[in-house]
Amino acid sequence: MARRFGAVKVGEVLPSVAGIITQETINDYADMSDDYNPLHVDPDFGRSTPYASTIAHGPIPMDFALQMLKQWIGAAWPTGASIKSKFIAASKPGDRITASGRVVRTEPASSRVVCEFTCENQAGERVIVGELECVLDK
Amino acid sequence: MTKPAKPTARLSQISGSEVPVGKKYGPYVHELTDVIASTWTKALNDKDPAYADDEAARKAGYSGRVAPPGTMTLHFLKAAMDAWGGMPVGMILARQEVDFHAPAHPGDKLATEFVIQTKTIKKDRPWFDLEMTTRNDKGQTVAVSRITWIMAH
């Protein structure tokens, strides 16, 4: 059921989405993107870097925020929506990433809704901060 | 059990001075295959009936199965690697914005082009702002992304 603009309140909290990033998740992303940078897929190389580990491609943790938006608005493809992400810290294999968000602004003339979001790891460290925007039916 | 990753990194030694502001790249065409769409849903646990079933997708108002929107990031990365002969060594993703337009469907051949918009030097490293546009084979815009990448040199 698609969410309607009239039912949205500023301050409303979006249902969070969480997931664990594994090395297999990262390897699958490498297979799909052809980005086999050893910093992502070679654990021995990763241990030799300041990260002391492989790290996930940035779009992997970002997808949890995108899933949160899709589930909240009730659309498999969020036509007219956007995600704005600032990457603050790396996500590593074993990290549990939780995307959380809340509505910060509504624009009745355009039925646009703006939400802030964060993606945090299991230690409560923010790895991504940003905004989600969508246009809902009246 | 974790499967071994393919050891075929496409890395590029391109430097910031070889990426001028205003330069346009592409279009680079890649198919959004069924395998990619299904791998994405499993790997990211990104599930929706409209990703797996044509009838469910039509009930939701689409013309057929749609792809998870996160798959657009794959096309942006592939376009950069096509343009530069691989991912520049040491490049870091600092910011990414994605606008979603017409839905993408498994089987779509998507064309991505991009332009370098600005370049700034911070802490001796070049920061690039790019805008990428991905279109389907009907010429419809599927997604637009603004990306800030930090290159190593």
**For chain A, domain boundaries:** 5-22+55-135
- Residue B26, min C-alpha distance to chain A (Å): 17
Query: pLDDT value at position B12?
Result: 85
Of B3, B6, B95, the CB nearest to A24: B3
Interface mutation target, options A17, A20, A33, A69, chain B, most CBs of B under 10 Å: A33
Specify the fold of A5-22+55-135.
Thiol Ester Dehydrase; Chain A (3.10.129)
Query: pLDDT value at position B5?
Result: 47
Of B50, B98, B102, the CB nearest to A76: B50
- Cβ–Cβ below 8 Å for B100 and A78: yes
- Cβ–Cβ below 8 Å for A58 and B50: no
**Which residues of chain A neighbour B87 with C-beta distances below 8 Å?**
35, 37
CA distance B68 to B37: 7
Global confidence as pTM? 0.94
Q: Is A133 left (phi over 0), alpha (psi -120 to 50) or beta?
A: beta
- Token pair belonging to A1: 């059921």
Query: pLDDT value at position B7?
Result: 55
Q: B3-17: buried (b, 16+ CB within 10 Å) or exposed (e) per residue?
A: eebeeebebbebebe
**Which residues of chain A neighbour B151 with C-beta distances below 8 Å?**
none
Contacts of A50 (CB under 8 A, 6+ apart): none
Mean pLDDT computed over every residue of chain A: 96
Instruction: Tell me: ipTM over 0.90.
Output: yes
Q: pLDDT of chain B along its 153 residues, tens only?
A: 455 545 578 888 888 888 889 999 999 999 999 999 999 999 999 999 999 999 999 999 999 999 999 999 999 999 999 999 988 888 889 999 999 999 999 999 999 999 999 999 998 899 999 999 999 999 999 999 999 999 877
